[in-house]
Structure 1
Amino acid sequence: MAPSDRFRQRKQPKQLRSAETRQRIVDAAAQIFAEYGYAAGTTNRIAERAGMSIGSVYQYFPNKDAVLRALMQAHADAGARLIAERTSNGLPPALDDALRVFVRATIDNHRDDPRLHRVLFEEAPRAPEFLAYIHDMERQAVEAAAVLLDAYPSTRASRLTAPVVVTTIESLVHRLVTTQLPVDLDELENEIVLLLGRYLRDADQ
């Protein structure tokens, strides 16, 4: 496992201008990693794309792994925020509609630049702290799925049902959205809802 200090940011912006500069670096890094991949996504290329000196980049991030950590964190936070927003008024009465809320939010969080997501989660190393954060988010997602299933008492209920639902959505969306094969995202959404709907209703067999 990589040492965690490789992923530590140097300067946390407190003023608007500093926050904007940091965001320019992160946006440039997203473009560079999507274009060149992890290995060739150097800080020199990031600085050039951001239109600033390498020294300015190093004021905020000591290396490319620290920028990657910021990108990964932003992706994870965006996914949690989408689900929270779309469930803030409660869940639809029909099971399939409720499943669709979670599936669509997950797909929407992967729509922009699938190549970048593939680099972030398949090529790049991860900070131990970020892995712990992801595991905590997974636990929260499983707890939310358990609440969802409790709202529909006719569905399958076992110790593994909620983890299976969460893992199925996350795994299928990530694998199929980031694949180089053409994938219709509306069709993918329908297929996952169909798959999970049948699984959850198959409680008596």
Structure 2
Amino acid sequence: RWWIERLRRTFELVDLTRVDHFRGFAAFWAIPEGSLDARDGRWLPGPGDAMFRAAERQLGALPVIAEDLGVITPDVEALRDELGLPGMAVLLWAFNRPANNPHRLENHREHQVVYTTTHDTDTLRGHFPRRNRRRLLELALSSRAALCMIPAQDVLGLGSEARMNRPGKSSGNWSWRLEQGQLTAELAEELRASTGAASRLP
């Protein structure tokens, strides 16, 4: 019930949401109570599709993205596909990796969402300080993925100082804020032009 009410409230506020750590619905790493080392844990089966099916009965079709990053095994992919949920690709991870890297543009799927970066990664400028910001955004927009998400930090071309989260660190996270006036008319026009060139305008 908690999940359903949380989703219900979320859908009152947004058109689309992402379920982070989706892989936990297939299997999760369980650490015994009192253990001081995560290596003491083991994989246990997750609840599968039960929560999603219950939510569908109450709320109808679920506008949800499955965060399928990290340790992704065939059972996670099967659950995602069984539920018909789009997964993720991240442009930041598309370079200098093997040909079968799922984040490379040629390996993107239509039923997917491409992100330039995520809340857990550095910004594009922080990671690629010498690369052309607009060209990187246009690469993401050129993906065959149905949706393209570009965080405000990447639109603005901000560096590591604007990073949202640093996994494993307990302080300094989630403090960046978009200030009034940062998104200028010039930036909006540039983004519209790039979006139009990629045939992504409504």
TM-score, scaled relative to structure 1: 0.32
Whose helix fraction is larger, Structure 1's or Structure 2's? 1
Say which structure, 1 or 2, has more relative contact order (CA 8 Å, 6+ apart).
1
TM-score, scaled relative to structure 2: 0.32
